[in-house]
Amino acid sequence: MNTLTRRAALAVAAALALAGAATSAGAQVRERTIKFAYLNQAGHPQDLGAKRFAELVEKASGQKMHVKLFPGGVLGGDLQNVSAVQGGTLEMTNLNAGILSSHVKELGVFDVPFLFNGPAEADALSDGPLGQKLLGMLADKGMVGLGYFDLGFRNLTNNKRPINKVEDIAGLKIRVIQSPIYVDLFNALGANATPMPFPEVYSALEQGAIDGQENPFTTIKASRFNEVQKYLTVTRHIYNPMALLFSKKVWDGYSAEEKKIVTDAAAAAIQYQRQVSRQQADAALAELKKGGMQVTELSPAEVEKMRAKAKPAIDKLAEKVGPETVREAYAELAKLRK
């Protein structure tokens, strides 16, 4: 074989090798459908974050991986969605991280009342060592934690009376999420706490089965609770990060390239969603006021009184979550505040 023939043969071999490598790499991304269910309605920041995630996954995968969204609780409540994710019949869900404390008790640390001074602190704790460690604990429970969306600070609504002081909460039947800390907190504040799946809340308020509920401004507006609630009290009693979860059963069957597409899309969608969520929170409060809700901002003194009444619930939660985890959270926040 002469030199030119040898070179030609080598070139062909190299081209074939490159083609084979490209084919192999392409084969790492298969045609897949990711079903993603969550409770808030279309247009809510949770939904907008999910849509951004879907767009990024589909673009990065060359339209091979598709994300089918199920907003508005159409596949069931949070607990049903988590069970489906664990079983592998649902690929993704996104929910208040505190609800997952029934699976990983330490995640209840996010539900410590009056923990954060603002969203920047919440992001730092969620994205920092503690927040990421907590996500890692979900693997043993059949879930892969991809990060945290923002739901925001929770505030109280009711249809009985304006709440100007903590004593005004007494006797109100308040819907809370299905997590013990919310029951303990509102019972400590004097209310009759009523756990209830989110999709049932509007009709329960409309029918008078409950007097009120507590959620961030964006959820109150997107769910049209202002149609059946007259009074809004800005309590900011708990901040909610929302855990973005993927089924481990499904995840374990993904290639490294597919996993990277999902994790990269999640990271970018999280940053986008948080920004949108906080912008919409300000706009939602303004619109709720404009729409006729009577809004009360508690004085600092009343907030302190509320915190004092909540202390038994806080202490009980700390014992349940684990004092070491709570101390770790406060330690990370103390560093940030310096």
Query: What residue ranges do the domains of the chain occupy?
Result: 31-151+241-283, 155-238+291-337
The domain 31-151+241-283 is placed in CATH, from the list 3.40.190.170, 3.40.50.170, 3.90.1660.10, 3.40.50.1110, at 3.40.190.170
pLDDT (tens, 9 = 90+) of the chain, 338 residues, equals 544 345 444 444 444 443 343 334 445 999 999 999 999 989 999 999 999 999 999 999 999 999 999 999 999 999 999 999 999 999 999 999 988 998 999 999 999 998 998 899 999 999 999 999 999 999 999 999 999 999 999 999 999 999 999 999 999 999 998 888 899 999 999 999 999 999 899 999 999 999 999 999 988 998 999 999 999 999 999 999 999 999 999 999 999 999 999 999 999 999 999 999 999 999 999 999 999 999 999 988 898 899 899 999 999 999 999 999 999 999 999 999 98
pTM across the whole model: 0.80
- Residues 69-98: tens digit of each pLDDT: 999 999 999 999 999 999 999 999 999 998
Domains 31-151+241-283 and 155-238+291-337 share a fold: yes
pLDDT value of position 180 = 85
pLDDT value of position 11 = 46
CATH 3.40.50.2300 matches 155-238+291-337:
no
Instruction: Give the 3-state secondary structure of the chain.
Output: CCHHHHHHHHHHHHHHHHHHHHHHHHHCCCCEEEEEECCCCCCCHHHHHHHHHHHHHHHHCCCCEEEEEECCCCCCCHHHHHHHHHHCCCCEEEEEHHHHHHCCHHHHHHHCCCCCCCHHHHHHHHHCHHHHHHHHHHHHHCEEEEEEEEEEECEEEECCCCCCCHHHHCCCEEEECCCHHHHHHHHHCCCEEEECCHHHHHHHHHHCCCCEEEECHHHHHHCCHHHCCCEEEECCCCEEEEEEEEEHHHHCCCCHHHHHHHHHHHHHHHHHHHHHHHHHHHHHHHHHHHCCCEEEECCHHHHHHHHHHHHHHHHHHHHHHCHHHHHHHHHHHHHHHC
pLDDT value of position 23 = 37
